[in-house]
Chain A
Amino acid sequence: MPEPRRSQALLAGGLAAAFALSAARSPAPLAAALALAALLFRRGIVRQARRVARAVLPVSLLLAGASAAAARLAGGAWPDPAPYALLVLRAVTIALVVFSVLARADLQRALLPFPTASRLLVLTLAQVHALRLLATDSLLGLRSRMPRKPGAVDLLRGAGGITAALLTLSLRNARDVADAMRSRGF
């Protein structure tokens, strides 16, 4: 399937799958989805699984575990673990499917027929790129100016300062971008 159709189909399919899986109330559909994902997306599945383990698993386990422990403290007995396990399984499955789809879809290509959305995404990502460089440099500058390792308050103050610089820069960039667009006939 040629682009942008291919990416659009992938993204639409992934989104639909995410919503469908979010309605799952038993392990069977989730297990099936995991098996299907392992098959369809086997290239790179390990990396996506690692990302899920890093990003989604801790939060889900923490919330589930804390809730279970608190329910035990309140009720005097461990609650039924099944719904908690299902919760974590659901979160992990959806994350794996979504990450795998996003790794394969070209978002910008998919958005090409929608110039406003496309341009907004590009403008934002380009600015993120530029601002991040400035932010990293500023934080390094902060570290190099301090005799001791910066503590939380120093970093917060530094972050406040960086924000002012980033805001000024980003708004000036925005004005320049608007002018550049106008200059080329937009």
Chain B
Amino acid sequence: MAPLLELSRVSVALGARPVLTDLSLAVERGERVVLLGVNGCGKTTLLRALDGLVFPGGGEVRYGGERVDAASLEAPAFRRRFRSDVALLFQNVDAMLFNPTVADEIAFGPRQLGLADADARVARWAEALDVAPFLARPPFELSGGEKKRVALAAVLALHPRVLLLDEATANLDPASSARLVDLLAGIDGLTTIASTHNLSIASELGTRAVLLHPRGQGILYDGPPEGLLGDERLLVASGLAHSHAHRHGGAAHAHYHVHDTE
């Protein structure tokens, strides 16, 4: 059976600058993938390519075996199915909030797709994300964390099969981060691909870690997160850790270590 979501030898350039080069990745139904890499390595572009927002110059993206490109997304039936099955939570949450009220925001996706139970979904997901008190308010008035929860409710209301998350825990305090991780873990049958540059939460975000080359030129590691966290050479090569001189209890030395950059 074809993988649920797949990149085959995908290359994406933004303007003249190559961002992803010859990347292949296959994700099966139900997998929880954490996409790791330094800032600027192309994680966002990769997620956007998976969501059919950016089309590769080389290679192809497939969902359920079908090609995802400008032409295939013209077909209304496929577009509706793809847009409801695959959802992306943007890193820039402000960009996701463009409706007059939180209720409208959550209902936007379902309504666009012509689903009849939009209001029921709004109620359910507003409750689940604890934003029900804000339903009548404009999203842009809320705090950063509240906005993130509204955006998440808005994408979950689509009942997607695949949820793509771009730096989902950025700007969230540890408690909210944990709540988010628990929420996602509790949704059965959901496939997630979550990007982060924060190694300390990598194993919470997924059971399969995919490490991207610092300049998007391939995948340096694909396996359990624990395997990556113990691999000093790889961590330094990917830019997620580095070695510099520092002191422990009076003795100065240099060894590699990871900086939590959250």
Q: Touch between A and B in complex, CB under 8 Å?
A: yes
In the complex, the answer to whether B94 meets A173 with C-beta atoms within 8 Å is yes
Interface status of A181 (Cβ within 8 A of chain B): yes
Across-interface contacts of B139 in A (CB, < 8 A) = 126
Instruction: Select A179's contact among B95, B113, B140, B155, beta carbons within 8 Å.
Output: B95
CA of A159 to CA of B184, assembled, Å: 44
Instruction: Select A118's contact among B100, B109, B113, beta carbons within 8 Å.
Output: B100
Interface status of A184 (Cβ within 8 A of chain B): yes
Across-interface contacts of B202 in A (CB, < 8 A) = none
Q: A182-B53, A186-B112 are in contact. Are A173 and B95 (CB under 8 A)?
A: yes
Main secondary structure, interface of A, reads helix
Instruction: Select A122's contact among B92, B98, B109, B112, beta carbons within 8 Å.
Output: B98
In the complex, the answer to whether B83 meets A126 with C-beta atoms within 8 Å is no
Residue ranges of B at the interface with A (Cβ–Cβ < 8 Å): 48, 51, 53, 79-80, 83-84, 87-88, 90, 92, 94-101, 108-109, 112-113, 138-141, 154-155, 158
Known: A173-B94, A185-B80. 8 other contacts (CB 8 A): A108-B100, A112-B100, A122-B98, A122-B138, A122-B140, A173-B92, A177-B95, A184-B108
Q: Which 9 A-B residue pairs are closest in the complex by CB-CB distance?
A: A176-B95, A185-B112, A126-B140, A184-B109, A185-B83, A108-B100, A180-B96, A177-B95, A179-B53
Residue ranges of A at the interface with B (Cβ–Cβ < 8 Å): 108-109, 111-112, 118-119, 121-123, 125-126, 129-130, 173, 176-177, 179-186
Sampled A-B contacts (21; CB under 8 Å): A108-B101, A119-B98, A122-B98, A125-B138, A126-B94, A126-B138, A130-B94, A130-B140, A173-B92, A177-B95, A177-B96, A179-B48, A179-B90, A183-B51, A183-B83, A183-B87, A183-B90, A184-B83, A184-B87, A185-B79, A185-B113
